Structure 1
């Protein structure tokens, strides 16, 4: 059995594809799996590191501007698009896959287009509640369309019925109990724990709002707070040191019941221990929040394509499984008020947790794998 995965651009596209591919290879050791991506994005590092064969094509998205530079870039993009489909056809011809699978990103477009024209069985997976342009177009052509959440269905004009599969979640996140995590972190079981982060790189608007909140929380005894400024937020660590925070370990500073970290490298433990999670609304993060049954305050990034993080967040908010605070309304005061409102109302907090848990699809990896395997002749 030969499977060809096409995905790239962001970890939100790549990691779910790797999770499914790894599961299939574990279940069928004789299977041959290849990935197609670009040489200048994360897939060029993540895929080979996961042990899969990796081929590249050259492709990028169109600029949504009429500036002279954007027009020139778009002309180049058309040229790359023509070449990338030719290269995709050659990869498919050489590899002879039984199924071609797209997990989003611009690279999926030419690869799946070529596969459809060559009469290969095809399927795609859409991570977000509001689908990307590439997957919207591919949905009209491929054999199977898989969605993370029901909310995306109304935005798709699919050739065939779409299937809700959820999004794969890292296994270690499901294995740790809150009790065990609290022991590892040394945090009393009865004390509310707030966990906040803006992704691995950090988010400046969240860090700006959190600065005053964390300084205030460091004086409180009724809540524990762990915050990551992200690898792009190293200058914030100096601000906390200036305000009396002490170094506990490399890139970890604390004062009272407050920890500020550059990066959270034990996310499974911190997430399991948390009562309230504050962060962005990427599809992978929300699937983890649902799987672990966590209450959350979501601050969608307004800088992403199709404003899809807002739609991701609203999929939970509309089911009373989260609260939303848009970045345009984000201040230290507004975030602090919403945070205090939730941690002071244990009944509402537990209800939100249960609603989030009810949305989780724990066996997403297996569901996606089953659909892919059903297309193998």
Structure 2
């Protein structure tokens, strides 16, 4: 069996495809896999690192600006889109897939569209609460659209095509208990653990507020353990400030550039303070971890706030908009949750209502059914 996965733009689009590809190869050792993305997107590095063959299609975004530069950009994007069809058809002729699965990103559009036109079974997975432009454009072509939550169905013109599968979460997140994860991290007392991060590249604005958060918890004698990832863009500045104020010597405060042992840290966490990207939301719900969420206001269609509001609606998260997310506000919200085991249990139950730990298996069954 030959399968094409097409994705790109963000890790939230690429990771579900990588999870499904690995799962399908375990089930079908003779499976041939090809990934298709854009030539300069982050997907290329992630896919090649995972050991898969990669082909590219030049597809770019459209801008709403009517400025000369915006118009020029859109003219180029139209030309790329016109050429993308012939490139997609060439890839289909060469690889001869039995199935094409798109998980978001501009390259998904020509691959899924032309595969559907040729009668090849197709499916699309949408990680976010509200469909992105590519998913909207493919709704009429795809055999089915897989989503994270039942509430997503209302945002589609063809709700009969919607299948609630959840979004895949790495298997190593479930290979140990919370207690085992705490032992690995060396957390020997009963204080709960707060984990915070703002993305792999960090968010300078939010990290400035986190410095105030650190000062407040250090002032109060570290009532809970705290692991924070500053990200590459903020790490040097944050480290210098922490050293100057001797916060690096504060027991229980662990500030890092990046959390490499994320499976251990997330499994041990009693509260996560974070953005609302699709991958993070799927991890929170699958692990049933309470969260304080500050949605990024800089993403298309404000989809992070829409993701976060679903968690809030089910009682699993407290949402604080970035304009209100001072260090003091975040510390106050985190403290209220961490001081109350009853509130944490309630929020965990709310997250669990949305969690789909077997999302990869559900997606596998869904796409395989399209081939019958």
The TM-score by the shorter chain falls in which range?
A: over 0.9
**1:292 counterpart = 2:287:** yes
> Deviations 1:74-104 (Å, cap 9, x if unpaired)?
0000000010111001111111111111100
- The DSSP-based 3-state class of the residue aligned with 2:208 is helix
Name 2:144's counterpart in structure 1.
144
Name 2:238's counterpart in structure 1.
236
> Which deviates more from structure 2 when the two are superposed, residues 116-125 or residues 65-74?
116-125
Equivalents in 1 of 2:348, 2:294: separation in Å? 18
Name 1:303's counterpart in structure 2.
298
Q: How does 1:195-234 map to 2 (within 5 A)?
A: 195-219=195-219, 220-234=221-235
- The DSSP-based 3-state class of the residue aligned with 1:208 is helix
Task: Provide the aligned C-alpha RMSD in A.
Answer: 1.3
Q: Give 2:370's match in structure 1, choosing from 355, 358, 375.
A: 375
5+ residue gaps, structure 2, are none
TM-score (normalizing by structure 1) = 0.95
Equivalents in 2 of 1:364, 1:32: separation in Å? 22
Equivalents in 1 of 2:95, 2:184: separation in Å? 47
Equivalents in 1 of 2:192, 2:159: separation in Å? 48
> Deviations 1:15-74 (Å, cap 9, x if unpaired)?
110100111011101121111111101121111222222111111110121111010010
Name 1:53's counterpart in structure 2.
53
Equivalents in 2 of 1:44, 1:67: separation in Å? 31
Equivalents in 2 of 1:291, 1:8: separation in Å? 23
Equivalents in 2 of 1:126, 1:158: separation in Å? 14
Give runs of ≥4 in structure 1 deviating > 4 Å. Answer: none
Name 1:82's counterpart in structure 2.
82
> Which deviates more from structure 2 when the two are superposed, residues 305-314 or residues 329-338?
329-338
Equivalents in 2 of 1:16, 1:28: separation in Å? 18
Asked if the contact 1:191/1:223 (under 8 Å) is kept, the reply is yes
Cα drift, residue 105 of structure 1? 0.6
Asked if the contact 1:104/1:126 (under 8 Å) is kept, the reply is yes
Equivalents in 1 of 2:159, 2:95: separation in Å? 26
Name 1:251's counterpart in structure 2.
none
Asked if the contact 2:285/2:355 (under 8 Å) is kept, the reply is yes
Asked if the contact 1:205/1:327 (under 8 Å) is kept, the reply is no
Equivalents in 2 of 1:368, 1:193: separation in Å? 32
Name 2:343's counterpart in structure 1.
348
Name 1:279's counterpart in structure 2.
274
Asked if the contact 2:153/2:159 (under 8 Å) is kept, the reply is no
Asked if the contact 2:314/2:353 (under 8 Å) is kept, the reply is no
> Deviations 1:156-189 (Å, cap 9, x if unpaired)?
1128431000000001111121111221222234
Change (3 A) 1:109 1:159: farther
Asked if the contact 1:313/1:324 (under 8 Å) is kept, the reply is yes
Q: How does 1:25-174 map to 2 (within 5 A)?
A: 25-158=25-158, 160-174=160-174
Asked if the contact 1:295/1:349 (under 8 Å) is kept, the reply is yes
Equivalents in 1 of 2:266, 2:42: separation in Å? 25
Equivalents in 1 of 2:238, 2:133: separation in Å? 36
Cα drift, residue 316 of structure 1? 0.7
- The DSSP-based 3-state class of the residue aligned with 1:236 is helix
> Which deviates more from structure 2 when the two are superposed, residues 111-120 or residues 273-282?
111-120
Change (3 A) 1:189 1:177: farther
Name 2:5's counterpart in structure 1.
5
Asked if the contact 1:143/1:160 (under 8 Å) is kept, the reply is no
Asked if the contact 1:129/1:312 (under 8 Å) is kept, the reply is yes
How many residues are aligned here?
A: 370
